[in-house]
Amino acid sequence: MTKVTLRNLTAHKLRLALTALSVVLGVAMVAGTFIFTDSMSKQFDDLFAGIGKNVAVDVRAKQAVQSGSDEQVSSRPPVPAALADELRKVEGVKDVVGNVGGYAAVIGKNGKTVATLGPPQMGMNWVNGGDYDIQSGRAPQGPSEVAIDEATMKKAGYGLGDRARILLQGPTQTMTVVGVIKTGNMMGATVTAFDTATAQRLLLKPGYFNDIQLVSSGVGETVLRDRVARTLPGDVEAITGSALRDELKDDIQQLLSFLQVLLLVFGLIAVFVGAFIIFNTFSMLVAQRTRELALLRAIGASRRQVTRAVMGEALGVGIVGSTIGLLAGVGLAAGLQALMSDGSEGSTGLTFTVTPVIWSYAVGVTITLISAYFPSRRAAKIAPVAAMRDDVALPQRSLRRRAGIGSALTVLGAGLVVAGIADAGPEPLLLLGIGVGMVFIGVAVLAPILSKPVIRVLGGVFPRLFGTPGRLARENALRNPRRTAATASALMIGLALVSAINVVNSSAVASIGRSVDRQFGADYMIISETQGGFSPDAIKAVGQAPGVDQATAMYVGNINVNGKRASVLSGDMAGITEGAKLKMLSGSTDLGADGLLVDEDTAKSNDYKVGSTLPAQFTDGARQQLRVAGIYEKNDVIGSRLLSEQAYLAHTAKPLAFMGMVQVATPGTASKQAVEGALRDYPNLQVQDRSEVKESFQKQLDQVVVFFTILLAMSIIIAAVGVINTLALSVVERTREIGLLRAVGVSRRQLRRMIRLESVVIAVFGALLGIGIGVALGAAVQNGLADQGLDILKIPVVTLVVYVVLGGVIGMLAALWPAWRAGRMDVLKAIATE
């Protein structure tokens, strides 16, 4: 049977190559993901091995409040520079280095920032003998000098002695470039260095360091840490240099793990789609070789041997597809690495481990074998007597059983989707993923039942428009509903996910737009292109511009309330009340030094009343009793808590605004230009009116949609390959039929049109299935997130119609080669085919 398997593999090279392509594309994403993340992890390990390599102990303030994703400034307060003198006295300390760090980017000669978002834009104080060396020039000295890393210098177009503009969270500084820093591979990050006093003034706070690092004179880092810890005040801690480097690595590993999971999800979706193609291909191959398999049974082959023969073919396809997919994954990883590094020099190349190899073959071979198992079982059930029949067809089970199984899977999957969206259970995302997968399988099982009425409707106009070819195309699509459904189901999955994303996006845009209209009362909003917020001095400058009635800086951060982290917003209450259309339900907006406002949902869930007192702890470690001064109507602009500006500023070392709201006497072009003129020293800030705010949100959401659509494109491409494969096999299967059609007068053009129309109707059916599931899934997500601001369901009808048309185009393109091949058949040979 091994010889039979090898003969069949070599006899059907083209068919099995198309099947292997489905494996290749899915495995490429899986392999590429592992190679890329392994390579990035290795590069970061090499990078961190050089950062703080001589540090034995790091001294820093204790973190009283855990950081949050919505926090604009570090939750760890700075330490006084005077502490460094005390640390020098500790036995075993050889050297003491105070570090200052913060945001600093470089504005190039073209007037554009080298980078604003993405890789870190690091400002720091220059320390001789620190993590980096001067490649040329000298170290910065004085308030007007700066050193910049070599990659950023090239991008910005600067040289030694040039005057460079440095973008900070405060006003932009123009400084002389006196040194070029050698950093090696920073993967797109920029490094800008100042002398210590200048760095403290620009990035942190005069007289303070972010942390103080100690170099040992030979004492072990654990021993030195313990000695240092005994001399520190209660709000400062000491950790070993190893622990510091591990923390840095852990932060990066968390990001890489998230990226790995994200890419793997889409890779597995592509593999899942490929499984439908493999199943369909082997089902058709088994059906076409019914007599051959029956002859094997007739000459003594057992059912097990027949099953092994078909599974052997699947194993060959899986191995070849996985091998090519692994090689393609190398190219994909290289592309991702180039994209992430943003062209920076010093890349260490790709890192190869055994992990992508194992996963590539495990995924590719396993999915192929599972997909081919049921066709192989059907092959084994062919009776030997079938070899004596001229026309042999595999027995088909009743569709009633399919209806029951498909309905059960769909309903159960929908229940898991609802549970996942409702955040029920310990792993809601896992529930959601399993539920979506079960819905796809359930609908795929039901698809043969759905295909008949839908294709009759879709193909109903074909006879009128295209005559006999149109009628034949419709009947061919109806002839084998299982095959039609399996082909359409592959296309269904990708378009379902894309459609769901578009429904959620449209609903989010509509919900945000209504929130802005209802709750945004300011004439203009000021936002930053940079990370971490901006100096409130910018808002003060706007407040002095002609025609400006009020300019309010809004701060965001985290505090502990009753021992739990809570996000808070702060700022001038008069400006916030007007700019955010704050509607009070009870209490007052007079917060004083200890006031806190909460929205109605927070008050209800925590049983807060006006006058309630809450124990709070701030990021600087200070504790204070906060007073609930009032309760307001839910407001998406503000969030759930408003903290007294006086309290926020008193406990924040370097307050940074995350947004500004501006009220003017007469809104219009002149007033906007006046506000923009006041911000000429802050090129990273944008001024937006209400319509521009909504447009900005829409652009951000659209970028997310494009990103996910690109990741899902692989599954759609695999589905298109599946349509090609199905039609190609169908042409082979119907060789004699095609010859007879040609013999009775059907022209080559009509024959090709028939195959193209058949492909189009199958593809459109798959697109309609996918869009239907996508709309239902998107509506479920919107409903589950209605209480979190996604309170409008909007179906993007035009976009979905475009997807239906896209499905038809995919079907048309997929049919080109099979139709061309059918048209070239020799009539007499085709008729003589058995």
**DSSP string of 498-538, one letter each residue:** HHHHHHHHHHHHHHHHHHHHHH---SEEEEESSTT-B-THH
pLDDT for residue 232: 94
Could you say which DSSP state residue 438 is in? Answer: H
Could you say which DSSP state residue 245 is in? Answer: H
Q: Nearest Cα to 57, choosing from 212, 251, 210?
A: 212
pLDDT for residue 185: 57
pLDDT at 420 over 80: yes
Of 155-164, 382-391, 419-428, 681-690, least confident by mean pLDDT is: 382-391
Q: Nearest Cα to 106, choosing from 170, 47, 161, 149?
A: 149
pTM summary value: 0.81
Of 527-531, 636-640, 738-742, least confident by mean pLDDT is: 527-531
Please, which pLDDT band fits residue 301 given cuts at 50, 70 and 90? confident
To the nearest whole number, what is the mean pLDDT of the chain?
A: 86
pLDDT for residue 7: 65
285-320: b (≥16 Cβ within 10 Å) or e: bbbbbbbebbbbbbeebeeeebbbbbbbbbbbbbbb
**Do the strands 101-103 and 121-125 form a parallel or antiparallel pair, or are they unpaired?**
antiparallel
Please, which pLDDT band fits residue 377 given cuts at 50, 70 and 90? confident
Please, which pLDDT band fits residue 713 given cuts at 50, 70 and 90? confident
CA distance 115 to 121: 7
The 10s digit of each residue's pLDDT in 195-219 is 999 999 999 989 999 999 999 998 9
Specify the amino acid at residue 736.
R
pLDDT at 577 over 80: yes
Specify the amino acid at residue 138.
R
List the domain boundaries for the chain.
Answer: 55-239, 447-520+691-834, 524-688
Q: H or E stretch including 570?
A: strand 564-571
The 10s digit of each residue's pLDDT in 87-103 is 999 999 999 999 999 88
CA distance 660 to 638: 12
CA distance 515 to 248: 39
* Average pLDDT of span 161-180: 92
* Average pLDDT of span 29-53: 77
CA distance 496 to 435: 14
**Do the strands 641-643 and 564-571 form a parallel or antiparallel pair, or are they unpaired?**
parallel
Asked if residue 65 lies in contact with residue 558, where contact means CB atoms within 8 angstroms, the answer is yes
Q: Angle at the Cα of 484 (from 482 to 488), degrees rounded to 5? A: 115
CA distance 660 to 642: 15
Asked if residue 817 lies in contact with residue 18, where contact means CB atoms within 8 angstroms, the answer is no
pLDDT at 666 over 80: yes
Please, which pLDDT band fits residue 502 given cuts at 50, 70 and 90? very high
Please list the residues that pair with 553 across neighbouring strands.
660
Q: Nearest Cα to 636, choosing from 595, 586, 582?
A: 582
